[in-house]
Amino acid sequence: MDWNNPYIYALGKFIAINVTFIVVLLIVAYVVLAERRVLGLIQGRLGPNRVGYGGVLQPFADLLKFIFKEEITPDKSTRFVYFLAPVIAITAALMSMIVYPFGPEVSLPFIGRVRLAIAQFDVALLYVLAITSVGVYGVALAGWSSNSKYALLGGLRAAAQLISYELSLGLGLVGVVMMSGSLDLYQIVEQQSGWGGMNWNIIYQPLGFVVYLISAIAETNRVPFDLPEAETELVAGFHTEYSALKFALFFMAEYVNMLTVSVLATTLFLGGWNGPFVAQLPLLGVVYFLAKVFFFLFLYIWIRGTLPRFRFDQLMNFGWKFLLPAAILNVVLTASAYYFYMGARLVAE
């Protein structure tokens, strides 16, 4: 296929974007089902198991429920912002998916050689961090525009939590960037292909990985960091006044953000698609990639069924007094190790 033809190139990208978004939303739907089933097992019950075999059609039943539920808009809300907030949340969550490399370069019949990534550019990691940070505007605007004290407190908590943990998350990734010398996600994955596909960055950056993972869980407002929507004191937090499809958009945005965190952790620390025999069977890389992503999603669910929620003062103290110093320490250690390594190489040469 002639990829130099601009019409064919544009059509290919259009199809790739739509297929990626559909697959992401299907994964999100079944992650929700898996979470309900796994939490049921953890708590000694069954979970949803009546709609379809083993509850396999439950996500579609939930979607129909959201579609046909009554839309309720608070009288004193700022309506334009109230409607805009869930759109910002889901758009920011989905847009980061276009730069992730899901597999190595493969040869497909009738298409030729293609890279399993929609877009590749030099600052892809910076783009991911920027676009995911925009998502908090949806949460904060939802809390403010609802004109509800519970929603406002949830929005304020979300903003404070983002500021506290965004620093640690970014610093946790600096070590990987220093080692790879690139912000291109595709290049970062390719540099982890040594040792038969097992030369992963987590071996060299264990502290950075732990800092990133904890910060990312806090960024996605998941247990034990789900203070912006703490049911015990804030009803449902920032989306208390939302119903039907607008609530569904916030719900989907949360799970898409979980998927984003899992994909980024896989890409930066677990070698992306790299693994044994990928050089001989390139499509096996996609299987490895999905297996690693599903491991992180299971970890999210396991943590939710195991850990209690922090108090808000504990959350802030943990972020500023423990996680941020640990992230700075990791940067210092990585920079020092890299300096001595490069010095030793110069001496040897």
> pTM (2 decimals)?
0.92
What is the tens place of the pLDDT at every residue in 131-151?
Answer: 988 888 888 888 888 888 888
Q: Which residues pair with 115 in a beta bridge?
A: 105
pLDDT, tens digit, for every residue of 43-101? 888 888 888 888 899 999 999 998 888 888 888 888 899 999 999 999 999 998 999 99
Supply the mean pLDDT for the chain.
88
Distance CA 339, CA 10 (A): 44
Strands of the chain (E only): list them. 103-108, 112-116
Give the chain's largest Cα–Cα span. 74
Q: How far is residue 15's CA from residue 3's CA, in Å, rounded to a whole number?
A: 14
> Percent of the chain scored above 90 by pLDDT?
45
How confident is the model over 301-333, as pLDDT tens digits? Answer: 999 888 888 888 898 999 999 999 999 999 999
Q: Residue 330: its pLDDT value, please?
A: 95
For 175, how many CA atoms within 13 A lie in the half-sphere containing its CB? 27
Q: Reply yes or no: is the peptide bond before residue 308 cis, omega within 30 of 0.
A: no
Q: What are phi and psi for residue 284, nearest 5 degrees? A: -65, -25
Could you give the CA distance from residue 344 to residue 322 in angstroms, rounded to a whole number?
A: 33
Is pLDDT of 2 > 80?
no
How far, in Å, CA of 274 to CA of 152, rounded?
Answer: 44
Q: Report which of 107, 182, 97 is spatially closest to residue 135, judged by C-alpha positions.
A: 97
Q: Quick one: tokens of 103?
A: 């597999």
- 251-286 per-position pLDDT tens digit: 899 899 999 999 999 999 999 999 898 888 888 999
CA 165 to chain centre: 14
Task: Using pLDDT thresholds of 50, 70 and 90, give the confidence band for residue 34.
Answer: very high
pLDDT at 232 over 80: no
Contacts of 69 (CB under 8 A, 6+ apart): 243, 244
Closest C-alpha to 116, from 282, 252, 236, 256: 282
Residues near 280 by Cβ (< 8 Å), separated by ≥ 6? none
